[in-house]
Structure 1
Amino acid sequence: MNRSTSDQAADAHALEALHARIEASLARQGLMQHLGARLLRVEPGLCEIALPYSERVTQQQGGFHGGAMGALADIAGGYAGLSVLDEGLEVVTVEYKINFLASFNGGELHALGRVVRPGKRVIVTTAELFHVAPDGRRQSCAVMQQTLAPVPQKY
């Protein structure tokens, strides 16, 4: 069955509104702004965020710091969860577990968050982190599972 042009336009408008909502929330994240994170993509149940390599995100040996990687995964999973909630709600992280698979420097990290199970009281997400080398080569470097709780938006 073909969708009407008006249905397609409504879907495009809803996706633009979702992107604007997530982007506005990300702009309120002081840590992510300090580290230089940027929103790459958002769809219902999915969010991708990039973090460029800089002296702000390194550990003592020059690789991406695990804390920066964990924060990026947390944000991508959190915004994936937020993308399935109504306006007027936010999410808080209840817990997450991350496995670091490899260490990299240079380039940037991309975190791809996905909703595994949406819910009214608990949302479960995952995020996979990829290192993107300057030549465009992508390698997986961490995986995370997360539990979120929806809360009322306070701003």
Structure 2
Amino acid sequence: MSDEHAGWDEAVATAHAAFAAQDFTVLVGAELTRFEPGVVEVRVPFRSALRQQFGFVHGGVIAYAVDNAVTFAAGTRLGPELLTSGITVSYLRPARGDLTAIATVVGTTRRQAVVRCEVFAETDDGPVLVASGQGTAVATGPAADR
């Protein structure tokens, strides 16, 4: 196994541990289902506790999925010590069913990453795009001093 591969395996393990250590993530029931260089996927299984008054997935749950997917995708480029500095979310249609947020790094500097994110809801006809977002994450650890 090459050092680069071993380093990536360590990054994946660190990401999964950090994801599981977030109390809100546990509360929502989210899963980190994909963690690759520049791309992350976060899944949020649908359950009644995540609904708003009309029975759709609450917009805050969708925003959470964008926020976490954006920051973890940024982490594939900047390392684990970073924070979200901003997100925007555009809701396209109400969501029912399991959510999948797919975040892709658009570009990075030494201290920040810009990431786009699409959120899909699973329906009987397959996945439907329910929201689109973008965010920026900034390095907070030693990488920020470079």
TM-score normalised by length of structure 2: 0.88
Q: Which amino acid aligns with 1:93?
A: T
Larger mean CA deviation between 29-38 and 51-60 belongs to: 51-60
Higher-Rg structure is 1
Q: Shift of the alpha carbon at 1:11?
A: 5.7
Distance 1:59 1:15 in 2: 39
Distance 2:51 2:40 in 1: 24
Confirm whether residue 79 of structure 1 aligns to residue 72 of structure 2. yes
Confirm whether residue 28 of structure 1 aligns to residue 21 of structure 2. yes
Q: Shift of the alpha carbon at 1:136?
A: 6.9
CA RMSD of aligned residues (A): 1.9
Q: Which amino acid aligns with 2:50?
A: V
Identify the match of residue 96 of structure 2 among 102, 105, 117. Answer: 105
Distance 2:5 2:83 in 1: 28
Aligned length: 142
Structure 2: give runs of 5+ residues left out of the alignment: none
Structure 1: give runs of 5+ residues left out of the alignment: 1-5
Confirm whether residue 145 of structure 1 aligns to residue 138 of structure 2. no
Distance 2:125 2:76 in 1: 28
TM-score normalised by length of structure 1: 0.83
SS in 2 for 1:83: helix
- Is the 8 Å Cα contact of residues 18 and 43 (structure 1) preserved in structure 2? no
Q: Percent identity?
A: 27
